[in-house]
Structure 1
Amino acid sequence: MVSSSVDAIGRCKHKLSKRQKSNKGQDLISNLPDHIIGCVLSFLPTKDAVSTSVLSKRWIYLWTFITKLDFDDIGYCSSNEIRKACFVDFVDRVLLRLNSEHIRSFSLKMSEKYDSSYINKWISIVINLRVRKLRVYLQNDLAVSSDPLLKCQSLEELVLSRCAITLSTFVCLSSLAVLNLYCIIISCSSSNDSKTLTLNFPVLRKFVTFGCILSGVKSVILQVPLLEVVSISYHPFYRTSHAEIKFYASRIATFCYYGHMSDTILFEGHSVASADITLYNKNKKSPQEIGIFVCKLLSINPECLKLSVHGCISQFVKHSFADIRPFKMLRHLELSFVGCNNLLGILLKSPCLETLILEEYYKGMLLSLANVPLCLVSTLKVLKFEIFGRSKRGLSVAKFFYRKWSGIGEN
């Protein structure tokens, strides 16, 4: 019994050795199925993948089975017009010769200004191939047709940069999980006065915008039940529009806002785990407008809040805290440039605070802290000073809290 098993193993080793010798010197990769080779070539830059067509007759058309496309007009000749013509010709040839049934990823980066008809044509082609990830980085706010984008139910990730799009009043993308928009001008095709955009993304998990402008749009409703990350940023020196943005979401974990008084952000029926908010007032909003904006923005009831207030806005924010509901979930708080009155206002609204991080010292801080109720002291466990921790002022604040914690009053 044992000897027969040994003989069988010996025969297998002999056959394997014989097969290895017979395969020695052969091109095993070329014998793979076309779609497998296409998947392998997809890991190369598209330009390099196409270059494999010169290897042999067998490889002339294998690149047409790639499923990942990456186009960048940097590096095409020295003359501007020649470079643009070469780039357009290359993209056209690649897209028209593809044999892939679907495209996993398509990336287009253009540093020069092109006719928008080229971009719209290329996007339509890859959408017809059921592209999953689409990234388009343009210049000069070129108009991109939204019609093919809105029909692409296979789309899982969409990244758009520096272009202008016009949307219908209702948009639904059933597979979209990631949406990143950078310096996009968004307008609404509706002819009525409501100008309300309703975006239904049932599986969206990440929503990021930077420097986007809502042109003629009064409100945006996002129906995003699985949304986890929201990041909205504006450059403090760029112009912005004003619109109300309302999120219908129940699973948001992280919310980031960086910019001035512009859009009104509303969250329906949910507390956010972590919020990072930086505010400017470059648009010179009135105290009433600032108060309404801050009140609505801080209604998210976060567990962790990092708040920075810059410019003259800080003197107006204090009027908003009286109308804000208590931060019943807030455990971790970081503050920068908020001023004494705002510090006191936030602390009075934070009955469960455990960690307080102060970025800087400002005049009157001790007076504000003296009015902090003892119930706050009973929950606070960590007090950290970022900038002035080793200075005399920082030590004064630390000494104040130590006395209050230990029950030692000043005589």
Structure 2
Amino acid sequence: MSQVSTDPVDPATPGLSARPAPAWSAWRAVVGFGMVSLAADMVYEGARSVTGPLLGALGASALVVGLVTGAGEGMSLLLRLAFGPLADRTGRYWSLTLSGYALTAVCVPLLAVAPFLGGAGLAVAAALILAERAGKAVRSPAKSALLAQAAGAVGRGRGFAVHKALDQLGAFAGPLLVAAVIAATGLVWPALAGLAIPGAAAIGLLLWIRRRVPDPAVFDTGTPPAAPALAGSDTGTPPAAPAPATTAPPTPRSGWFGADLPRRFFLFAAAAGAATAGLVTFGIISFHASQTGVLAAAAIPLLYAAAMVAAAMAALASGYLYDRWHARVLFALPVLGAAVPALALSTTAGAIVAGTLLWGPPSECRTRPSRRSWPTWFPPPAGPPPTASSPPSRALRHWPAEAWPGPCTPARCPS
């Protein structure tokens, strides 16, 4: 397979010239990607904070709200299995990143016109919500690859930390902006229309980064190989013996997806799914709060922002507790998950607030301790690490223990 333009080029390789120096430093590129995520998170997290009330106002039932929001979250995850390998095969990392962000920047503000479409408004709003979540799946793998290359020169731990911190700031600021507009106007649609401003900012910033750093791989130089000893040198050190050939990794068994994974992986996956199956989307919680009239319209986005803060604090605590108690912290997930619907779907304001604050931590932390458990329970196979286009089953088994060093904080765990 031929190399794509975004693959790093070794300047020492005969016949290949070194890439020109970028106009920006690596840190500036990393911060630029972080600012893009900040603006984009303001858009889609702001919209998610009022998805339930919006669909309810358009005539949706709780079942429809659950189906639309649940299907959207599923699409944003499952479609990455297709768009990650697509980015690797085509090398169109920038195109996929821009396309995904464009879907978010366009679909969310268009939700503002749904209340004016009469009977078609509900169908249009549902389609726009699903399209926005599909955009998340389109851009995430490609953007992560670009960011990882840019962060290679500054340290991927620090680079992703800065990026995630800015990302979390946008996730908190978006609902606050929506709440302020609803409080001022008493309507949801002006708040959604106003999200066009950070959406346009995200696209503009991304185009600017692409122009200044068209190939972030120039930062990802890696570790240079040791120079071979020259003939006739006076060092007196004999040339090193050639490294022995490594055994190729075993070829995964053919058949259905994940056929080469151990049985305990599927038991673990089933347990993780069952532990969080009771978690409802915030769309259901916000729909219930608005339909019952327990909370004011402007208070619902504020409640979502508070849940994001609770999730961030829980991520800090889960990383610390995992280092002490290891996978035993996972037993807390079904307990928290069982309490969420009982409280969040009640008819008192205090219980709804408490249930939403409990909803945030399991929603954020259900993947953090689980990821840490993989290296212990599923040792990596022999052979080189997989890439985004490797078979998903091998990528799961090759999870590196050092990939998530230290406590898992909102600023250190890339999503």
TM range (shorter): under 0.3
The structure with the greater share of residues assigned to helix is: 2
Return the structure number with greater relative CO, CA threshold 8 A, min gap 6: 2
TM-score (norm: length of structure 1)? 0.19
The structure with the greater share of residues assigned to strand is: 1
